[in-house]
Structure 1
Amino acid sequence: MLRSALTALLLAAPYVHATALTSMLGANEKSCYYADVDGVGEKVGFYFAVQSGGTFDVDYTVMDPDDRVLLTGKNERQGDYIFTANKIGEYSFCFENEGSSADKLLDFDIMVESEPRRQLSAQQPALKEHTSTLEESTYKLSGLLSSVIRTQKYFHTRHHRNYSTVLSTQSRIFWFTVLESAMIIAMSLIQIWVLRTFFSKGSKRYSA
């Protein structure tokens, strides 16, 4: 009976197909990605985060198969959205980096989830009880796992942003040091030239 309950629970589990990508978005560039939805009412999850580049922001637009805008945002650093697909077809997820001179590293997920209906015989009350208990436990574990995944994504994004900030700071310090050294050398050469010119003129006046 337990095996039958587990089998029914697996059949009742939602079918999910997802795409996790990391992409470099160039300056003044627009990039679009697509996901197919096979049934009305399916859940579509969309997550993105700018890992590095510029001020860590990007413009995004999500459209349905009829090119109707579902989600849009300007200068967003990250986002996590779930919506219900009301039409069958290809949904587009576009990122824009127009007006920026910096390349940006994007990390994003596109998830499409369908939930097939479980069919159980009315003559199996015990099986229904076992299935309901296991189903509730599975949903709780799924919620906890989603929370852990979101926390991991948050720390992953913070790590990349902090690392990018450290690299940018190191680069600025290096070039500031080079400029400072060049100015010191230039000032030293100018002082030497001024002293040589002064003594050269003084010796000429004395000899005359």
Structure 2
Amino acid sequence: MRAGRVQATLAVLLVSASQAAGSALTAILASSERSCYYADVDKVGEKIGFYFAVQSGGSFEIDYVVMDPDDKVLLDGEKEAQGDYILTANKIGEYSFCFENDASMSDKLLDFDIMVESEPRRVLSGQQQPLKEHTSTLEESSYKINGLLSSIARTQKYFHTRHHRNYSTVLSTQSRIFWFTVLECSVIVGMALLQVWILKTFFAKGTKRFKV
């Protein structure tokens, strides 16, 4: 009996894990480059999760646009550093998620996640009824755990993005301090040389020469 329960539990977890199809990707977007990614929706009313964050490059800004199978714009933005959206699919087909790096001359490291909800129907061998009718409580608990894990993953991505941006800010500040110090030292040395030259010129003018 315990082995049968373990098998049923594993089957439920597999069903719950397969109820959302998604892809977490990291890509480098060159200057003036446009890159598009696609996700298929098999049922009207499914939820589409779309998350992106610029990890490094320039001012951490990117342009994006999300379109439905009829090329109708659902979401768009310019010079955005991060976004997290949930859409409802009103049409069946291929949805596109495009990024553009036209506003900057530097490459961008982009982290994004596209999640499409799905509801496959799994049937146990030798049975005609769906598995979820017998294990609704366990499946609901799996949904809650999956939601909590997704929330934790999004929070980790947020702090990861903040870490990259703060690190880039620190490097930029160090570079500015270095070059400001170099400029300040150059000005001090130049002023010292100028003072020596002025004093030398002043005393040279005040010296009288006599021919014997």
TM-score by length of 1: 0.82
Given the alignment, which residue of 27, 31, 35 partners 1:23? 27
Deviation at 1:11, TM superposition (A): 5.6
Which residue of the partner structure matches residue 46 of structure 1?
A: 50
Match status 1:77 vs 2:84 = no
Question: Shift in Å at residue 171 of structure 1?
Answer: 0.6
Q: Residue 207 of structure 1 aligns to a residue in which SS? A: coil
Cα deviation, 1:9-64, whole Å, max 9, x if unaligned, reads: 2463234443322233344x242222230512343321111223343232211112
Amino acid at match of 2:146: S
Please tell me whether the aligned partners of residues 121 and 130 of structure 2 are also in contact (alpha carbons under 8 angstroms): no
- Of 62, 80, 102 in structure 2, the residue corresponding to residue 98 of structure 1 is 102
- 2:34 pairs with 1:60: no
Q: Write the letter of the residue equivalent to 1:39.
A: D
Structure 1 residues without counterparts, runs of 5 or longer: none
The amino acid that maps onto 2:15 is A
Q: Which residue, 201, 206, 209 being the options, matches 1:207?
A: 209
Unaligned runs of 5+ in 2: none
Q: For the residues of structure 1 that align with 2:11 and 2:133, how far apart are their CA atoms?
A: 9
Say if 1:11 and 1:118, in contact at 8 Å, map to a contact too: no
Question: Which range moves more in the overlay, 169-178 or 10-19?
Answer: 10-19
Q: What is the one-letter code of the residue matched to 1:34?
A: Y
Is 1:115–2:114 an aligned residue pair? no
Whole-Å separation in 1 of the counterparts to 2:201 and 2:153: 72
The TM-score with structure 2 as length reference comes to: 0.81
Whether the 8 Å CA contact 2:41–2:116 is kept in 1: the answer is no
Q: May I ask how many residue pairs the two structures share in their alignment?
A: 203
Tell me, in whole angstroms, the C-alpha distance in 2 between the residues paired with 1:182 and 1:101.
31
- Farther off after superposition, 80-89 or 187-196: 80-89
Task: Name 1:173's counterpart in structure 2.
Answer: 177
Q: Distance in 2 between matches of 1:23 and 1:123?
A: 43
- On the 8 A contact 2:123/2:130 being kept in 1, the answer is no
* CA distance in 1 between partners of 2:193 and 2:90 (Å): 74
How far apart are the structure 2 equivalents of 1:124 and 1:60?
Answer: 40
Rounded Cα–Cα distance in structure 2 between residues aligned with 1:200 and 1:123: 109
